[in-house]
């Protein structure tokens, strides 16, 4: 690797195994809720559509994530591979969170990702819907941070 070139393995073109690995790495990063660290997985000129917000740089992505995790408290996320080809991956996901008034939500979404040759995400298109839930209807109870390997995924949870 040349000095100064950023790389995020696994690199495209993706196989089923490397696409699953890339999805889990993204899930782990987002579950860290470390916006500055997470933003490093994206190209400097990354382009996002996140709900109705558009992001056009790594710095804007970090700012969006800082805002997100100030609002979405006790955030826990599960992502699942939907499809992959070449340098593109499609995922579905659900995450649980509550607002500062204690109202719980499960947010469901789909994302389409595109990566450059160095494994940095250049495009992220996210569609997300928020479902109010009762606290007793939550399904994600692991300690904040990485989802344990033995915790069921979306399909196993019937989501």
3-state secondary structure 14-29: CCHHHHHHHHHHHHHH
Q: Give pTM, 2 decimals.
A: 0.95
* Residue from 88, 65, 89, 67 nearest 79 by CA: 89
* Residue from 67, 63, 131, 64 nearest 95 by CA: 131
The pLDDT score that the predictor gives to residue 4 is 73
Q: Say whether pLDDT at 1 is over 70.
A: no
- Enumerate the domain spans of the chain: 16-137
Phi, psi of 27, deg, nearest 5: -60, -50
Q: Tell me which DSSP letter residue 135 carries.
A: G
**How does pLDDT run across 121-147, given as a tens digit for each residue?**
999 999 999 999 999 999 999 999 999
Architecture in CATH of 16-137: Roll (3.10)
């Amino acid at each position: 690797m040349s000095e100064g070139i950023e790389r995020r393995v696994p690199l495209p073109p993706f196989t089923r195994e490397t696409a699953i690995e890339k999805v889990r790495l993204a899930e782990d990063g987002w579950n860290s809720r470390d916006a500055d660290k997470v933003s490093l997985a994206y190209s400097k000129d990354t382009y996002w559509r996140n709900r109705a917000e558009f992001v056009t740089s790594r710095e804007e992505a970090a700012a969006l994530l800082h805002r997100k995790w100030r609002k979405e408290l006790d955030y826990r996320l599960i992502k699942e591979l939907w499809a992959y080809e070449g340098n593109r991956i499609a995922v579905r996901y659900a995450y649980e969170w509550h607002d500062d008034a204690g109202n719980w939500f499960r947010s469901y979404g789909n994302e389409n990702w595109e990566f450059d040759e160095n494994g940095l995400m250049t495009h992220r298109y996210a569609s997300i819907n928020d479902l109010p839930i009762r606290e007793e209807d939550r399904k994600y109870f692991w300690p904040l941070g990485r989802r344990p390997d033995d915790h069921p995924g979306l399909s196993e949870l019937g989501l």
